[in-house]
């Protein structure tokens, strides 16, 4: 504050530094980013369809122990996400919003964890900036709006590390039990990674920053019992109920199997996550030089070093582990984003306070990349929507409606140009990038991919079924096509028809039957079924084909 600063500005600054004010502000921004139009898009396959249908089946069967999908044992994930989706369905009614709300709420928990750590080490505005950076990271925001356990895992790992960090600052022994509780819940969210990841991050932090003497070793046994009391009962119960078939599928196939070999075609090179992290933190990654400068000055910033060491470990562990894994997906490194947000906020705070000097050329390079990205984003939406022809490929069908999102690229373009002009001033540049990131997250959240509903087949096909199909004997099948959300929207078991002979029996049986299949396959088969009727054709952008719903003669008119 300068001598000419007015009393109103001083009062506003003091009000903004209050913890309650910052929490309220963060909650409001989180709501705009995470909740706007949350239920607008139909379920995204395959994960959302799997998780939402498993929760629906568990609720319908009044079964809170054994996850099922399509009325068969599901061994992909533990049950915490299903419990939360069931509870949200009871409050909001079953649907897309209820399926995604647990992830959104977990996102708020992660934001508050990052805010607390940033506030403790970087000051009041540093904590607010840390949380804003996280809320402006596109991949983190996407996870908040997606019905799978990744956002839950990230929140629980974050609070486990918050407890550890507070313990390192002399908060007594309670932190160890809080960390054990958070890790136990993370085990219920996604399995062994809920224990291994925070444990490895803590170990790396201790190697970087020390603090071994502040670990209450004699309480480790008690903390383990707390962890066991949280995570153990369900794992034991589901084992007894399934004769440990769930454990064999989950631990051997979906944990060890994913590390040993690419599953479902999800592989990638060792550097797979580098572009993922750059894109997932954009536009803040344009200032990625700043954390490096802060780390280089750690000897002159001793109060910051514990947070910087934690941030480095927080990023390095997930990235290194999942880079070595044979199965790779962008969301696997989601737990690294809170650490990245803290490092980026530390760099921006250090630059704003004059603790580091950012080379003008590098800052302007980052702002130039931001402006160019704006043009690329606009062009991408125009091309994807078919407003601009693609001479390089005539095989990719445009998705009508995407072109309406082209103006969002102007956010990056304007921010990049403004930042390039003001690159010599830290505060305006930091503010420009932060506001740009938050506005981009809000706009994408409000859109929520809703225009792609017309290009997704499951809900439209389910709607084409007779209204009374749930109240009479009906058989439903799929042939050479399947999406998990089709089961969710039809609310009944879907049979996967293995071959043409089985399809012939299915469509000639005396019971009402409906089959969804690629339209191209139906064109070659329809002559064999003169009594079958085509009810609907719907594009499916996942399979890049049209899907047709066919009814047999017994289904009537």
Domains in the chain: boundaries? 22-352, 360-451, 458-555
Structure tokens at 540: 């499916």
What is the pLDDT of the chain when averaged over all its residues? Answer: 91
CATH class of domain segment(s) 458-555? alpha beta
Q: Could you tell me if 354 and 267 are in contact, meaning their C-beta atoms sit under 8 angstroms apart?
A: no
| Share of residues in the chain with pLDDT > 70 (%) | 95
94-107 confidence digits (pLDDT tens): 999 999 999 999 99
pLDDT of residue 473: 87
| Cα–Cα distance for residue pair 241/64, rounded to 1 Å | 11
460: exposed, middle or buried (Cβ count in 10 Å: 0-12, 13-18, 19+): buried
144-191 confidence digits (pLDDT tens): 999 999 999 999 999 999 999 998 887 778 899 999 999 999 999 999
| Cα–Cα distance for residue pair 423/428, rounded to 1 Å | 8
240: exposed, middle or buried (Cβ count in 10 Å: 0-12, 13-18, 19+): exposed
Q: Which residues pair with 316 in a beta bridge?
A: none
- Element containing residue 48 per DSSP (H, E): helix 47-60
Confidence of residue 300 (pLDDT cuts 50, 70, 90): confident
pLDDT of residue 8: 67
Using the 8-state DSSP alphabet, how is residue 395 labeled?
A: S
pLDDT of residue 254: 78
- Kindly tell me if the per-residue pLDDT of 520 is higher than 70: yes
pLDDT of residue 264: 64
Confidence of residue 394 (pLDDT cuts 50, 70, 90): low
pLDDT of residue 263: 64
pLDDT of residue 124: 83
Q: What phi and psi values does residue 342 have, to the nearest 5 degrees?
A: -65, -40
Instruction: Tell me the pTM.
Output: 0.94
276: exposed, middle or buried (Cβ count in 10 Å: 0-12, 13-18, 19+): buried
pLDDT of residue 384: 86
- Kindly tell me if the per-residue pLDDT of 448 is higher than 90: no
pLDDT of residue 9: 65
Q: Could you tell me if 49 and 484 are in contact, meaning their C-beta atoms sit under 8 angstroms apart?
A: yes
| Cα–Cα distance for residue pair 163/74, rounded to 1 Å | 33
SS3 content of the chain, % helix, strand, coil (to 5): 70, 5, 25
| Cα–Cα distance for residue pair 156/2, rounded to 1 Å | 42
- Kindly tell me if the per-residue pLDDT of 280 is higher than 80: yes
Helix ranges (DSSP H) in 448-467? 458-464
Tallying the residues shown for the chain, one arrives at 557
Cα 441 → chain centroid: 13
Confidence of residue 205 (pLDDT cuts 50, 70, 90): very high
pLDDT of residue 387: 82
456-499 confidence digits (pLDDT tens): 999 999 999 988 877 788 999 999 999 999 999 999 999 999 99
- Element containing residue 69 per DSSP (H, E): strand 68-69
Place of tokens 């996967």: 496
Q: For 121-143, what is the mean pLDDT? A: 94
pLDDT of residue 496: 96
pLDDT of residue 400: 85
Local structure of 551: helix, strand or coil: strand
| Cα–Cα distance for residue pair 247/461, rounded to 1 Å | 35
Local structure of 399: helix, strand or coil: coil
Which has more confidence, 28 or 531? 28
Which has more confidence, 14 or 251? 251
36-92 confidence digits (pLDDT tens): 999 999 999 889 999 999 999 999 999 999 999 999 999 999 999 999 999 999 999
pLDDT of residue 3: 52
pLDDT of residue 168: 86
Helix ranges (DSSP H) in 325-394? 337-352, 360-385
| Cα–Cα distance for residue pair 446/218, rounded to 1 Å | 50
Confidence of residue 503 (pLDDT cuts 50, 70, 90): very high
């Amino acid at each position: 504050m300068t001598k000419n600063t007015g009393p109103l500005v001083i009062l506003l600054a003091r009000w903004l530094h209050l913890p309650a004010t910052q929490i309220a502000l963060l909650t409001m921004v989180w709501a705009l980013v995470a909740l706007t139009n949350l239920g607008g898009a139909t379920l995204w396959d395959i994960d959302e369809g799997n998780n939402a249908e498993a929760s629906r089946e568990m609720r319908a069967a009044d079964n809170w122990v054994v996850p099922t999908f399509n009325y068969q044992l599901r061994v992909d994930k533990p049950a915490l996400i299903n419990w939360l989706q069931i509870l949200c369905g009871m409050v909001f009614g079953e649907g897309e919003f209820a399926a995604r709300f647990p992830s959104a709420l977990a996102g708020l928990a992660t934001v508050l964890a990052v805010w607390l750590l940033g506030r403790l080490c970087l000051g009041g505005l540093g904590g607010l900036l840390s949380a804003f950076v996280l809320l402006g990271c596109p991949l983190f925001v996407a996870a908040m709006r997606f019905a799978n356990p990744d956002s839950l895992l990230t929140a629980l790992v974050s609070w486990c590390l918050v407890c550890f960090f507070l313990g390192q600052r002399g908060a007594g022994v309670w932190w160890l039990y809080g960390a054990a509780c958070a890790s136990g819940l993370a085990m219920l969210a996604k399995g062994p990674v809920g224990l291994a990841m925070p444990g490895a991050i803590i170990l790396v932090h201790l190697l970087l920053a020390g603090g071994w003497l502040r670990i209450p070793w004699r309480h480790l046994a008690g903390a383990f019992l707390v962890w066991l009391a949280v995570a153990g009962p369900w794992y034991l119960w589901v084992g007894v109920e399934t004769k440990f078939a769930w454990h064999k599928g989950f631990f051997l196939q979906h944990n060890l199997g994913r590390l040993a070999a690419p599953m479902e075609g999800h592989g990638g090179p060792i550097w797979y996550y580098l572009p993922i992290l750059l894109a997932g933190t954009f536009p803040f990654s344009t200032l990625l030089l700043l954390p490096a400068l802060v780390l280089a000055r750690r000897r002159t910033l001793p109060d910051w070093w514990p947070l910087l060491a934690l941030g480095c470990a927080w990023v390095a562990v997930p990235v290194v582990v999942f880079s070595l894994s044979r199965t790779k997906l962008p969301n696997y490194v989601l737990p690294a984003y809170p650490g990245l947000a803290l490092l980026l906020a530390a760099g921006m705070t250090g630059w704003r306070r004059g603790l580091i000097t950012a080379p003008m050329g590098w800052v302007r390079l980052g702002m130039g990349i931001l402006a160019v990205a704006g043009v690329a984003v606009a062009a991408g939406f125009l091309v994807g929507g078919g407003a601009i022809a693609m001479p390089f490929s005539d095989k990719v069908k445009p998705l009508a409606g995407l072109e309406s999102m082209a103006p969002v690229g102007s956010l990056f373009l304007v921010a990049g140009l403004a930042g390039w002009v003001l690159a010599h001033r830290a505060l305006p540049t930091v503010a420009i990038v932060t506001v740009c990131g938050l506005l981009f997250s809000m706009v994408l959240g409000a859109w929520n991919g809703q225009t792609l509903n017309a290009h997704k087949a499951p809900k439209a096909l389910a709607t084409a079924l007779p209204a009374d199909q749930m109240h009479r004997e009906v058989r439903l099948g799929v042939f050479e096509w399947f999406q998990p959300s089709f089961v969710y929207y039809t609310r009944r078991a879907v049979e996967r028809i293995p071959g043409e002979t089985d399809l012939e029996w299915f469509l000639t049986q005396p019971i009402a039957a409906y089959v969804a299949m690629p339209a191209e396959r139906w064109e070659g088969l329809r002559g064999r079924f003169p009594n079958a009727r085509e009810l609907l054709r719907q594009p499916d952008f996942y399979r890049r084909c049209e899907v047709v719903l066919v009814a047999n003669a017994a289904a009537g008119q």
